[in-house]
Structure 1
Amino acid sequence: MMWRGVAMDRRRLLALVLAAPLLTAAAPKKDEQKKDEKKTGVGTYVEIHTLAASVMRPSGRRGVLTVQTILDVPDAKLRAKAEQVVPRIRAAFVQTLQTYASGMTPATPPNPDVLGQALQRDADRILGQKGARVLLGTMLIN
């Protein structure tokens, strides 16, 4: 009886050893997985992670202004360029947001029109042309 079980195990092991090269050939390569992970947006959108800046709260304590932003870039070439320079765009957005937040008076909500125009100027300047639209999401002071 024991030999029968060992023979079955050997057959299974041999089948796995022979099938292993086939399984690894069918699996996606690591480079392809990294390329898929590097995509920062979906469709025509390029995601810019949440931006944060410090503000003064009505109580006199420091608070944090957080803003969610996304770029809508319909042109494929410009979208590829935008995906490559996301760190530069994000740095410019954070600097603009910090400048805007430092000028806010306590108990005043942020003005999305003014902030949106400033961020749009930054995006156009960094991309070198117009064609990307800045979309603002949630603006929250905590």
Structure 2
Amino acid sequence: MIRRQFLALTVVASLIAPAATASEPKKKGGGEGYTQFNTINVFTEASRRRHGTLSVDMGLYSDDAKLVEQIRLYQPRLQDAYVARLQAYAGSLNSSALVNADFIVMQLQTATDAILGRKGAKVLLGTVLLN
């Protein structure tokens, strides 16, 4: 008898648990004002190989809710501008070069301000990898 009651409670608990977790809002990594972009991969010159790769993981942060919405709407255009700027920079790199993260941030920030038409969104770099 106790075994049946235990099984019944287990079944009821398994049905209630997903409903309780589904109603909770999912926490966004980086905060409400952070917009994560896909990793950007561009090609570089490499010795004795076909090419190397520069990979940049980044996002934009803004305190202004209207600007965050604009960033989400303009995300494809921003991604395209970032790829163009990084490809131009990566063309000057070879396999033994050191990556200048400050220059990359400056280039991405300039592209961001130009596309959005105003300042206020800050470029945040995650990972920069030259392979």
TM-score by length of 1: 0.68
Higher helix share: 1
Dislocated runs of 4+, deviation >6 Å? none
Q: Which residue pairs with 2:59 in the alignment?
A: 70
Secondary structure at 1:104 match in 2: coil
Between Structure 1 and Structure 2, whose CA radius of gyration is higher? 1
- Structure 1 unaligned segments of length 5 or more: list them: 1-38
Q: Which residue pairs with 2:21 in the alignment?
A: none
Q: Which residue pairs with 1:4 in the alignment?
A: none
Deviation at 1:61, TM superposition (A): 3.7
Superposition RMSD on alpha carbons, in Å? Answer: 2.2
Deviation at 1:56, TM superposition (A): 1.8
| Equivalent residue letter for 1:77 | K
Over 3 Å counting, the alpha-carbon distance change for 1:93 and 1:71 in structure 2 is: same
| Equivalent residue letter for 1:86 | Q
- Structure 2 unaligned segments of length 5 or more: list them: 1-27
| Equivalent residue letter for 2:127 | T
TM-score by length of 2: 0.73
CA distance in 2, matches of 1:93, 1:137: 15
Residues 1:44 and 2:18 aligned together: no
